Amino acid sequence: MATSSDADALEKGIKEKLPQPWSRWPGGYPGEIEIALLDAVRSIRARYRTRDTGVRGATARYRESVGGGPLDDLTRLAAHDPEHLATIIGRQETSGRTKAEAIVEAASNLSAAGVRGADDLQPESHKGAYTRVRGLGKVTWEYFTMLLGKPGVKADTWVTRWVAEQIGRPVSSDEAGALVREVAGRMADAPDASGPLLTRLDHQIWLTARGRQRD
């Protein structure tokens, strides 16, 4: 169980080891639930790379395939044949099935629960419709909501490992997320900041853990 000393140690690590200024949070896809879902699922053990490759390439190809415009209708994504969607976004797998299959199932579940566009999503009410899909879980659910503009922490392997290094002991994903939330609550945000402080802090920890350069 996390303690106040754990939070103190993490706060110290954030102040001393994260580069300043923080990198820009890309901003996600507010008002575009289709793209947010695609990105969240394709992000599992994936690379972002350039616009034409990785996750960015997959979302760009999907956008082009449906004619562009605001992509905020999960019923359209749910209507895709998974095999056809895989030809657009790639055949990467999660838990022994293509990510395209998981995406279509998640879109179908959420649509059935009354979620068509981004404004319909209630994170606590609709979480189960996503996490009951084989291959999907609470970490990518959190990321999905973050991409839609909700404050959050994607406590994946990178973030969890970095938090553990700062406090000097192993932590679970849940513990890491809770600690980042606690420390973010202690911090003052800049009035002209773009995006929620919690989300931006998570993003900078993730970049630092991966050893990437600032934007």
Task: Set out the domains of the chain in order of their start, with CATH numbers.
Answer: 4-26+152-210 (no CATH), 33-147 (1.10.340)
CA distance 86 to 65: 12
Closest CA to 143 of 99, 202, 189: 202
CA distance 213 to 192: 23
In this predicted model, what pLDDT tens digit does every residue of 149-170 receive, in sequence order? 999 999 999 999 999 999 999 9
- For residues 9-32, average pLDDT: 95
Q: Where does residue 156 fall: left (phi above 0), alpha (psi -120 to 50 degrees), or beta otherwise?
A: beta
pLDDT band at 29 (very low <50, low <70, confident <90, very high): very high
> Of all residues in the chain, what percent carry a pLDDT higher than 70?
94
In this predicted model, what pLDDT tens digit does every residue of 88-128 receive, in sequence order? 999 999 999 999 999 999 999 999 999 999 999 999 999 99
Q: Is 71 exposed, middle or buried (0-12, 13-18, 19+ CB in 10 A)?
A: buried
- Which pLDDT does position 215 carry in this prediction? 40
CA distance 96 to 31: 31
Cα angle 128-206-161, degrees, rounded to a multiple of 5: 85
Closest CA to 70 of 34, 108, 113: 34
Cα angle 188-207-145, degrees, rounded to a multiple of 5: 70
DSSP class per residue in 133-162: STT--HHHHHHHHHHTT-------HHHHHH
Q: State the average pLDDT for the chain.
A: 93
